[in-house]
Amino acid sequence: MSKKFKITICSGTACYVMGGAQLMMLEDLIPAEFRDQVEIVGSNCLQACRDSSNGQPPFVRINDYLMESASIARIVDYLRKH
Amino acid sequence: MTFINNAAIIKRQLMVRLARMMFAGTLGTQIDHIPLQQAPRESQSVRCCIHHDRAVLRYRLKALLGFAIENETTEDEIRSLASYVTEAEQKGDSRFGDQILTVIDEACSACVRANYRVTNACRGCVARQCIMNCPKQAIHIENGRAVIDEKICISCGICAKACPYHSIIFQPIPCEEACPVNAITQDERGKEKIDETKCIHCGRCLQACPFGAIMERSEMFDILRAVLNPAKTTVAMVAPAIVGQFNTDLGKVVTALKKLGFDHVVEVAYGADLTAAREAGEFVERVEHGSTCMTSSCCPAYVEAVNKHIAGIKPMVSDTPSPMQLTGDWVGQQWPGARRVFIGPCVAKRAEARASRNVENVLTFEELGSILVAANIDVMECETSSPDQAASSTGRRFAIAGGVAAAVITAAAEKGVKAEEKLFNGLDKKAFATLKSLDKIIKNTTFIEVMTCEGGCMHGPGVISNPVVARRFLEKMLKDQQ
């Protein structure tokens, strides 16, 4: 069965150094209510940093949505609203 | 849980901008644009206005070029950053002075001295236990609410305990609270100053300050100059804690370092193997001569703490050189005249390196990461390659608390000396008190490991990865190695 959200965390060096390292804790820290709804995958560079109009790293893709300046709190907030 | 810290991110963004200009060869002409690029005209300011933000960014860049802010004169305020680049170039390879950390007084918010503050939860009650019980009469009522006079308050905390509404809170001065040796204190303007005679360079103040007012005097300018110069041989000596710093295997980091321009990459964990063997030999010898205990010596902040604060236990500290020293010595024999750069998580290693003939420079993981971003080198996409000198799992375990003790005790047992283990996992005030009276506490043959950072080097101030994540990588690597 496919999950409601597929969260792809960019682990490219630019994202990782600019705060993405903390996102690796998402699996440990995500509230229990979402645990069954999300599939969390790490990824090589999503190339989002190549285009400055995408905003600032770290980047995360949630289904089709590209989140800039991602943090665990912002990801959880997004899940709550969708 | 650790949180994303905007002050740290700004610092890294500046490192990237500075390194990018060095790669492009435009630093000398363009560096004065960096504060404007980082805080452009239309952006929202963090401090009172963008001009203050830019002034602070300017000081950060000075620290990144290796200068100490404390040495600035009034005249220097109108100097261009470009002139500092020229000065840093002229300085050449000669070493900086002793000061490792620098306080940007312009960034320091001069935190309120009194640690107790009345919040707006105060209801101006009739009981007024805060006023009635204050031993210094430091509290009065203003507009129906209690107010503490900061100049009189002695931070005893009685008011906070007395308030039935819990409306009085404890608010520390973060850098002072973090410092285990009271080396950072306020001057008459409320700005923080570091006392070099007390500082052990653990780097906790730098992590603690919410204004990012404390910076390391970076060596990235010198290091990049050497790395970019094809005539110079440069050797990257990566600390055991490198594992997991880029969310990938060590092999990819090795390739990334070579792409960056380092000629050779050596694991300091190799030196840790040597340290473990030598330290075990030293321990056995000491035990045979009647000693009951010996402490580790690889954590430079701990060694500095002994020298500056608990000199009485100095005879118990191992004389074996640290893994960085032994690795540097080996590298020096292997590639004579090469520039040896220790890459690690540690601030105190800068001080150790400055006093050493075995290492020329120190770079933190955070600095390395920013430089790789500037060079557009993606570690995840690098191929895997082997370091020029690899290590065993014993040396690699030095990255986490307990690794040193396990190595020494195992090696000593092989030589017929059975010892107990005592671990000081994090150097705080309590640990200091215990260390001071070691001889009274330790009865049996014991090897003592002291790590200034709780959890070990992977929790150091210069790391990128969350230590929980990094540790998983290390454990996987050690498992695969078996």
Please give the ipTM for the structure prediction. Answer: 0.93
In a domain, B1, yes or no: no
What's the average model confidence in pLDDT over B174-186? Answer: 95
Substitution target from B373, B465, B471 for chain A, most A beta carbons within 10 A: B373
Phi/psi-derived region of residue B166, left when phi > 0, alpha when psi is between -120 and 50, beta in every other case:
left
CB neighbour list of residue B325: distance below 8 Å, 6 or more residues apart: B271, B352, B356, B358, B359
Same domain, B244 and B370: yes
Is the CA virtual torsion B248, B252, B254, B258 positive or negative?
negative
Which residues in B lie closer than 8 A to residue A13 (C-beta atoms)?
246, 256, 369, 372-373, 377-380
Question: Per mean pLDDT, which range of A1-5, A56-60, B280-284 is the poorest?
Answer: A1-5
A24: helix, coil or strand? Answer: helix
How many domains are contained in chain A? Answer: 1
Number of CB atoms found within 10 A of residue A34's CB = 16
- Considering only the C-alpha atoms of chain B, give the largest distance between any 2 of them, rounded to a whole number of Å: 79
Give the range of the structural domain holding residue B462, as residue numbers without chain letter: 222-481
**Partner-chain residue, chosen from A12, A18, A29, that has the shortest CB–CB distance to B378:** A12
Same domain, B38 and B128: no
Same domain, B46 and B145: no
CB neighbour list of residue A52: distance below 8 Å, 6 or more residues apart: none
Give the range of the structural domain holding residue A10, as residue numbers without chain letter: 5-81
Residue B1 has pLDDT above 50, yes or no: no
Q: Does the beta-carbon distance from A18 to B13 stay under 8 Å?
A: yes
A50: helix, coil or strand? Answer: helix
**Partner-chain residue, chosen from A24, A28, A29, that has the shortest CB–CB distance to B247:** A24
In a domain, B274, yes or no: yes
CATH number, domain containing residue A53: 3.40.30.10
Tell me the pLDDT band of B481, cut-offs 50, 70 and 90.
confident
Over residues B53-97, the pLDDT tens digits come to 999 999 999 999 999 999 889 999 999 999 999 999 998 776 666
Which residues in A lie closer than 8 A to residue B10 (C-beta atoms)?
none
Quick check: A28 contacting B, CB < 8 Å?
yes
Same domain, B242 and B340: yes
Same domain, B84 and B196: yes
Over residues B185-226, the pLDDT tens digits come to 999 999 999 999 999 999 999 999 999 999 999 999 999 999
Q: Does the beta-carbon distance from B466 to A22 stay under 8 Å?
A: yes
How many domains are contained in chain B? Answer: 3
Same domain, B271 and B406: yes
Which residues in A lie closer than 8 A to residue B369 (C-beta atoms)?
13, 16-17
In a domain, B349, yes or no: yes
pLDDT value for B425? 95
**Partner-chain residue, chosen from B378, B468, B469, that has the shortest CB–CB distance to A45:** B378
Same domain, B64 and B159: no
Which residues in B lie closer than 8 A to residue A19 (C-beta atoms)?
4, 9
Residue B2 has pLDDT above 70, yes or no: no
Residue B359 has pLDDT above 90, yes or no: yes
Same domain, B137 and B84: no
Quick check: A55 contacting B, CB < 8 Å?
no
What's the average model confidence in pLDDT over B397-416? Answer: 94
Nearest CA in chain A to B368: A17
DSSP letter assigned to residue A6:
E
Residue B309 has pLDDT above 60, yes or no: yes
Between A and B, how many CB-CB pairs are < 8 A?
A: 62
**Partner-chain residue, chosen from A17, A18, A25, that has the shortest CB–CB distance to B469:** A25
CA–CA separation, A25 and A36 (whole Å)? 17
Same domain, B50 and B123: no
Over residues A3-51, the pLDDT tens digits come to 899 999 999 999 999 999 999 999 999 999 999 999 999 999 999 999 9
